[in-house]
Amino acid sequence: MKIVIANDHGAVALKQHIVAWLKAQGHEVVNLGVDVEERVDYPDQAELAVQEYQKGSYDFGIVCCGTGIGISIAANKHKGIRCALIHDSYTARMAKEHNNANFVAFGGRVEYAEPVEQMLSIYMNAQFEGGRHTQRVAKLDALC
């Protein structure tokens, strides 16, 4: 898979961990995030990731900030982006199966009960179910 990732100063270590894991799994990762903890604004980082994703050829995007909340809100302000803030295996699977999320968000200051790579793996291996969810996703996309 080809994945774009971006982060702010609140998720430097998490982003580095995610990138290393994805590359070890054989995925191509375009890293637009910061690698130092000097303050940057998460809306700007979300916009970088979205703009790159919208160029095409990406399977999905990942955005990270301190909580994952702000950067997911920022990503969702962009037309065509369905960013899910996932926090466990169930929400990771549902993000893809029911919402066809094309971005996921994580928080660098969040203590997850499950490893982030486990949640990512579940998301990446899930398939959009279509059916009754297709109309709902179309309604989401029409909101922007």
**Torsion over CA: 55, 124, 102, 46 (sign):** negative
**Distance (Å, rounded) from C-alpha 69 to C-alpha 43?**
11
Residue-wise pLDDT tens digits, 17-46: 999 999 999 999 999 999 998 999 999 999
- How many domains in the chain? 1
- Please confirm, yes or no, whether 65 is among the known catalytic residues: yes
Residue 5 confidence (pLDDT) = 98
| Residues 6+ away with beta carbon under 8 Å from 34 | 7, 8, 9, 12, 40, 45
Residue 70 assigned ligand-binding role: yes
Beta strand pairing call for 103-107 and 60-65: parallel
Which is nearest to 89 in space by CA: 71, 112, 63, 60? 112
Strands across the sheet with 83-85, in order? 28-31, 2-7, 60-65, 103-107, 83-85
User: Is 109 one of the annotated binding-site residues?
Assistant: yes
Residue keyed to tokens 């916009």: 47
Three-state secondary structure string covering 10-33: HHHHHHHHHHHHHHHCCCEEEECC
Two tokens, residue 101: 């999320």
> Is 98 an active-site residue?
yes
Q: Is 69 annotated as a binding residue?
A: yes
Catalytic residue among 17, 27, 78, 98: 98
Out of 65, 87, 133, 144, the active site residue is 65
Write the pLDDT tens digit of every residue in 72-130.
999 999 999 999 999 999 999 999 999 999 999 999 999 999 999 999 999 999 999 99
Structural domain boundaries enclosing 78: 2-142
Which one, of 89, 95, 38, lies nearest residue 62 by Cα?
A: 95
CATH code of 10's domain? 3.40.1400.10
132 is known to lie in a ligand binding site: yes
pTM: 0.96
Annotated binding residue 33? no
